[in-house]
């Protein structure tokens, strides 16, 4: 059962420190069919519905070349999550695991990631399959899947390395 804001048996919440501004800028918005966490998939599926990643200005020129990649990594901000649980009970059966041993949306910095299939680009919008977030979820970043982003030749001294 999807958690909303409740505390389940044996879960532990802490008083988090005051939030600081990490300087994140939301660069877009994700449009999906899901408006409720009760209907949202727990992980995206490549045969799931096509979703739209809308890039805000002035960032649309940063999409140049994205069509070359079949797989993309999407990073998003799970903005409706609580952020204070250190122990969670995903099955609501009294057994718990630490937040960092889970992919739960409930975490101190609620960043979600999905590997998705590129479908098409329509101007400043990228169509993909494989997402699992609510309609309107803020976008943090979009990048080629690291498995596809490999150098064509072995690196030479002085070359930039993958990840630079």
Residue 5 or 150: the one with the smaller Cβ distance to ligand SAM is 5
Q: How far is the CB of 121 from ligand SAM (least distance, A)?
A: 22
DSSP 133: -
- Report the site for ligand SAM in 18-77 (rule: CB under 6 A): 37, 40-43
- Report the site for ligand SAM in 72-111 (rule: CB under 6 A): 78-81, 103-105
Q: How far is the CB of 164 from ligand SAM (least distance, A)?
A: 25
Measured between alpha carbons, how far is 114 from 132 in angstroms, rounded to an integer?
8
Cβ partners under 8 Å of residue 99, min gap 6: 85, 86, 87, 88, 106, 107, 108
Q: How far is CA 149 from CA 2, 14, 58, 59, in A?
A: 35, 39, 25, 21
Contact call for residue 113 and ligand SAM (CB under 6 A): yes
Q: How far is the CB of 107 from ligand SAM (least distance, A)?
A: 9
Measured between alpha carbons, how far is 63 from 84 in angstroms, rounded to an integer?
35
Q: How far is the CB of 114 from ligand SAM (least distance, A)?
A: 5
Binding residues vs ligand SAM (CB under 6 A): 2, 37, 40-43, 78-81, 103-105, 112-114, 132-134, 137
């Amino acid at each position: 059962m999807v958690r909303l804001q409740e505390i389940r048996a044996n879960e532990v919440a802490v008083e988090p420190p005051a939030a600081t501004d990490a300087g994140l800028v939301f660069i877009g918005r994700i449009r999906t069919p899901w408006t409720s966490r009760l209907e949202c998939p727990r992980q995206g599926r490549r045969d799931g519905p096509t979703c739209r990643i809308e890039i805000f200005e002035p960032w649309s020129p940063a999409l140049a070349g994205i069509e070359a990649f079949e797989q993309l990594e999407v990073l998003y901000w799970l903005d409706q999550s609580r952020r204070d649980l250190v122990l969670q009970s995903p099955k609501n059966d009294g057994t718990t695991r630490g937040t960092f041993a889970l992919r739960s949306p409930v975490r101190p910095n609620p960043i979600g990631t999905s590997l998705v299939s590129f479908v098409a680009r329509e101007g400043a919008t990228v169509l993909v399959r494989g997402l699992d977030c609510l309609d309107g979820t803020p976008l943090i970043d979009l990048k080629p899947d690291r498995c596809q982003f490999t150098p064509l030749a072995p690196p030479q001294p002085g070359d930039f390395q993958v990840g630079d």
